Amino acid sequence: ESTGMLEISLNDTANAESISSLIQNITYNNMDTADVSEGYRTVRFVLWDNEGASSEARDTTLTVYEINDAPVIQNLAGDTVPYEEGSDPIRIDLGMDALATDVDTTTFSGGTLKVDFDGWASIVEDNNGFSVDRLSIMDGGSGAGQIGFGGYVYAGATGYGDVFYEGTKIGVVIQNADVGTSEPPLKISFSEEASPEAVSALIQSITYENTNSVDAIEGERTIRFNLYDGERKSDAVGMD
């Protein structure tokens, strides 16, 4: 590995064939994966013989482009959350340590958080995402680190309501679909104030409730989280 200048000393076994192969295997890499400086890089090749004579310089030009890295949700996959029939809504992230990150942005403006049940689109009368299974947002208040939510989310109807972080609006619930549709049951659209800290707190505040307090269908519900930064989405994070 080298930076700036790569100089290779050749021994007496180096012939034209091996040197040609060496030149063909010279590589370039940019180590800045978060905020790369876009533009052209001119790479110059010069070959010296053992008597100090050099070849003409040969230049090749590389064009470096920045790409949008997908956001990441950490500390959530694989969690198992118990829910007892008749209970109030519970936070899905019991440890409240879910973390949303994106290496190339400080805001999720224009992005969304989608939360759904695995197999939601094909469910008709199944226990995984049945109509009494509801996803919503815990209204924690307007204090430090808290998520506020004054609307409602109801399976089979349209959810609505502004979402706040520390009293500042960060987004709005824009979708709450019924079972059997291709839309997620819970979808939040973000504004410019939706920082990674705010979105992390929101993920920690997503709740599950089963409204059948008499004869709830037992079994696992796999809940998936997808975070979009406006261009790319995170890998789906699932938990039971």
> Which pTM was predicted?
0.71
DSSP 35-61: S---EEEEEEE--B-TTS-BPPPEEEE
Question: Is there a contact between 53 and 47 (Cβ–Cβ < 8 Å)?
Answer: no
* pLDDT value, residue 122: 41
* pLDDT value, residue 156: 41
pLDDT in tens, 164-202: 999 999 999 876 554 444 455 688 999 999 999 999 999
* pLDDT at position 125 over 70: no
* pLDDT value, residue 152: 63
* pLDDT value, residue 155: 46
Q: Which of 195, 40, 222 is nearest to 127 (CA)?
A: 222
pLDDT in tens, 135-169: 889 999 999 999 999 776 554 444 578 999 999 99
Q: Where are the alpha helices (DSSP H) in the chain?
A: 16-24, 196-204
Model confidence at 11, pLDDT cuts 50, 70, 90, reads very high
**Encoded tokens for 58:** 């040969």
* pLDDT value, residue 158: 46
* pLDDT at position 70 over 90: no
